[in-house]
Amino acid sequence: MKLGIIGLPNVGKSTLFNAITKAGAEAANYPFCTIEPNVGIVTVPDERVQKLHEIYNSKKTTFATIEFCDIAGLVRGASKGEGLGNQFLGHIREVEAIVHVVRCFEDDNIVHVEGRIDPAADIATIDTELILSDMEILERRMAKAKSSMKGGNKAQAGELATMERIYAQLEEGRNARELEFDDPEEEAFVKGLGLLSYKPVIYVANVAEDEAADASGDSYVKQVADIAEKSGAQIVAICASLEAEIAELDGEERDMFLEELGISESGLDRLIKASYRLLDLISFLTAGADECRAWTIKDGTKAPQAAGKIHTDFERGFIRAETIAYDKFMEAGGSLAAAREKGWLRSEGRDYVMKDGDIVNFLFNV
């Protein structure tokens, strides 16, 4: 999965990116420090994979990963090419979801591009630029569809109606993602338009250090939370500068530091969980002496399609899936033989819907 970190200049985007990827992207107190997007691959923490590795003493252990892109700061007028607007908007189109960093802290030493701290206004600024960009795209697409229909091609009537519905939504200053599409084909068409305001969003409220353990009473965070609730977005409160410190620590030292701060898990862990919820993702597991691995799929994926994530031959020649829930496997002492005796090892067919934490062995014949 590929997530794009966006926001106004100097809100903490690159600091957050550095912290969660340890990539060392430049972070400076002036706009457009990030021009080309920095890219970092982050391992998804999963204790289940580590436990399976210990049980099987596997030669290889592979965790799921997320690709984060730190994209240039946006300014008012970006949809018209202000700042690095056109470049910025182009980079966002390539990601599956947006991580929108919003400044929720006071600091006289870090300038705000608009000269004030106002999370709701900051969100509105970026939303407006994304909406204006989407309207330009739709205007061109609708003009093309109308021209095609005049030439006798009536097949695009449905697509034109969908685009007009979205355009009306954007004209009201509302994001396309707030619309619902019941028809799967219509939904697929809308996704194919590449609209920026249709992409799912996680708001990262970048808070001060003294708010890192509990930001629930912060008035700035409350603004962001209200917007997230209305638009169906996720929200995570993180202190980016503190995450940068946490990123430098390993293992026990990191855990002790978090405990001292009164934080149960790092901002990265919470951001990853929010990403999975936002994109409706789960993980199934494969385990053996050669490799223990987590595979990311959409919730609701059936066994043959999950098998296809490993190899297309697995889906094409799918016979059945031998599967057991991770918790049951551990309850059986990490022994498939013991699990089989207890009746916990199941044989599932083509219609089986995968569950998070399923340990699976796919049987196939090509």
The strands making up 358-364's β-sheet, listed across from edge to edge, are: 60-62, 291-298, 281-286, 358-364, 318-325, 346-348
The yes-or-no verdict on residue 79 having pLDDT over 60 is no
Q: What is the DSSP letter of 302?
A: B
CA–CA separation, 323 vs 285, rounded Å?
A: 10
Question: Using CB atoms within 10 A of its CB, is residue 334 exposed (0-12), middle (13-18) or buried (19+)?
Answer: middle
The DSSP result for 88-145, as a single string, is HHHHHTT-SEEEEEEEE---TTS--TTSS--HHHHHHHHHHHHHHHHHHHHHHHHHHH
The yes-or-no verdict on residue 27 having pLDDT over 60 is no
More confident residue, 139 or 22: 139
Q: What is the pLDDT of residue 30?
A: 37
Q: What is the DSSP letter of 364?
A: E
Q: What is the DSSP letter of 156?
A: G
The residue written with tokens 């979205």 in the block is: 166
Least confident of 50-54, 75-79, 108-112, 288-292: 75-79
Question: Using CB atoms within 10 A of its CB, is residue 229 exposed (0-12), middle (13-18) or buried (19+)?
Answer: exposed
What pLDDT band is residue 87 in, cutting at 50, 70 and 90? Answer: low
Q: What is the pLDDT of residue 306?
A: 97
